[in-house]
Structure formats: structure tokens, C-alpha cells
Amino acid sequence: MSCCTTASVAVTHVPEAPGVAIRIGGITIALHTDNAEFRALLQRRYGHFVVPPGPADFDFQLELSQPFAGARLNDDVRVWSNGGKWFFQRGDFYAEWDQQARHGRMMHLPNPYSVDAVLRIVHTLVLAQRGGFLLHAASAIRNGQAFLFSGISGAGKTTMARLAPPDATVLTDEISYISHERDSYIAHGTPFAGELATLGANEHAPIAAVYLLEKGSANRIDPVPTSDAIRALLRNTLFFAHDPAMVEQLFNAGCRFVERVPVRRLSFVPDALVWELIG
């Protein structure tokens, strides 16, 4: 079903409304809307990830309206490219993004969840082109190094974040931001929270290890075969654009990552002693 029969917004350069600039992982995306109330909501939602107005890497014009006729809130996310532009849609939003022109427009219901989804999609696309990715993982910095705790829902990501000792800085309890810079991988804080429902710290550090979470009867770390490590990473990576080129980029990024960063299995009982094994 074509989205364009029910929702269409042209990507054109129009005088932009005031914006809220959100900087995650070193990439600034400015969201422009005339609606002062919604801008205030975005300011609160993204907190210390909001940066002062200025040149952004990408600008999005927001249109607060129902993107589709009829209730389609349960629709899955669809992401595709055509004619050099990206298109994203779900039941609550429809967006077009010209990455080359650094400009996009988005029609969405007046809630921050739609904006959150579009930000995640844009970041996954940009990161994939640069050898990075978003991973379903909690992450924290300890002793100058970042540690990631990856798993599906219920694996213990939020638990690990909650149990973090005072000398650990939690970057997220839900979605870790991994960039590839020169020969190392860097974890950045994100505003994408899980059950903890709090923003991560806006800090970054080189990644020392990824732990695949598994609840057990004791706290222990075990090696993981390379193929299992890649399989787990690919399974837990946020990925929306299922076109062949993007799948290949994701696969190559995952392979390069496990060549550089140790991936281990962390079995743990939910108590703070597990952090004695970390860092």
C-alpha cells in the first residue's frame, strides 16, 4: 500500500519555524515547529541532549497532524528509499528525508513518541553509513571505559542500569549508541530510555566490552564463539531499512565490531555484586 495516497509532504526549503536542536552521538538534528507548546515538550523530553540553536547536521520541519486517514496506530515501521530520499512511516507518523540536502519533513501526531521513532531511524541510517549502529543494550561508563549489556526485552538491561554503582555513569538502560571513529568504537549516551524512564548521561567513552545478558544462579562471565557474538549483535541491533545495501552495511559493521571489541556472556543474579565483575 502506498503511503503517498494517504499522506504526502514535499521536501522543499521553506523558511523554517523555530527549532529544538537535539544532539546525540555528535549528530545534531533540529526539529522545527511553530507550535511553542510542542517545542517546550521536546525541550523537556530531551533535556540535556538539547543544544543551543545553530547550524544542525539535519533539519526536520514538523507538521502536527494526523498523517493517515483512520486509526493505524498499530502499523509497523516502514523505511524505504526512492529517488535519493528516505521515507519513514508508521501509524502515527509519515516522514520524508533528503539526506543529501540535510532536510526533511515529518507529519505526526502531537506526541514525542513519533519524534523519538524518527530520530532513531535517522540515527540508524547515518550510523550504518559510518560503521556504527544502535543496539538494544544498557550501557555505562566506568573507569573511563564503556560497558554494554545487551539482550532482548526482559533480559536484564534495566536491572543492570539500576544496579550500577555510584562510580558508574549510566548512558542508557535501553538503546546504546555505538559510533565507529577511526579504529575504535565509542558508546554515547542516549535519551532513549526503557523502564528506567530517565535520560542517559550525555557522555561518551571507548567501548571495552559487550556482555550478552543471561539470568543465572551465579554471577559469571563466559566466552562467546564469534558466530554467536555476531548473531546476537545482529539480532539486537535496531534496524529499519531492509534494503540490500543497508543489510550489507549492517552485517559488515557487526563483523568489524566483534573483531575489535570483546563480546562475552554475562550470567547474573539480580544483585549489585555483579558489578564487581565489570570494569
3-state secondary structure of 161: helix
Other beta carbons less than 10 A from residue 74's beta carbon: 8
One of 17, 41, 247, 277 touching other proteins (CB under 8 A): 247
Rounded to a whole number of angstroms, the minimum distance from the CB of residue 249 to other proteins is 9
One of 44, 48, 231, 260 touching other proteins (CB under 8 A): 231
3-state secondary structure of 88: strand
Q: With helix as H, strand as E and coil as C, how does 41-73 read?
A: HHHHHHHHHEECCCCCCEEEEEEECCCCCCCCC
Contact stretch for other proteins (CB under 8 A) within 20-28, 71-79, 157-165, 226-234: 226-234
76 in contact with other proteins (CB under 8 A): no
227 in contact with other proteins (CB under 8 A): yes
One of 230, 261, 263, 274 touching other proteins (CB under 8 A): 230
For the record, the C-alpha cell of 240 comes out as 529499519
48 in contact with other proteins (CB under 8 A): no
Place of cell 571505559: 145
Cα 145-148-153 angle, rounded to 5 deg: 160
Cβ closest to other proteins, residue 184 vs residue 252: 252
255 in contact with other proteins (CB under 8 A): yes
CA distance 279 to 269: 18
187 in contact with other proteins (CB under 8 A): no
259 in contact with other proteins (CB under 8 A): yes
H or E element at residue 130: none
Whether the Cβ atoms of residue 223 and residue 264 lie closer than 8 Å to each other: yes
83 in contact with other proteins (CB under 8 A): no
Rounded to a whole number of angstroms, the minimum distance from the CB of residue 78 to other proteins is 15
CA distance 232 to 163: 23
251 in contact with other proteins (CB under 8 A): yes
242 in contact with other proteins (CB under 8 A): yes
184 in contact with other proteins (CB under 8 A): no
Cα-Cα-Cα-Cα torsion 131, 184, 22, 235, nearest 10 degrees, comes to 50
Other beta carbons less than 10 A from residue 269's beta carbon: 11
Site string for other proteins, 114-153 (x = CB under 8 A): ----------------------------------------
Q: Which residues sit at the interface with other proteins, rule CB under 8 A?
A: 225-227, 230-231, 234, 239, 242, 244-245, 247-248, 251-252, 255, 258-259
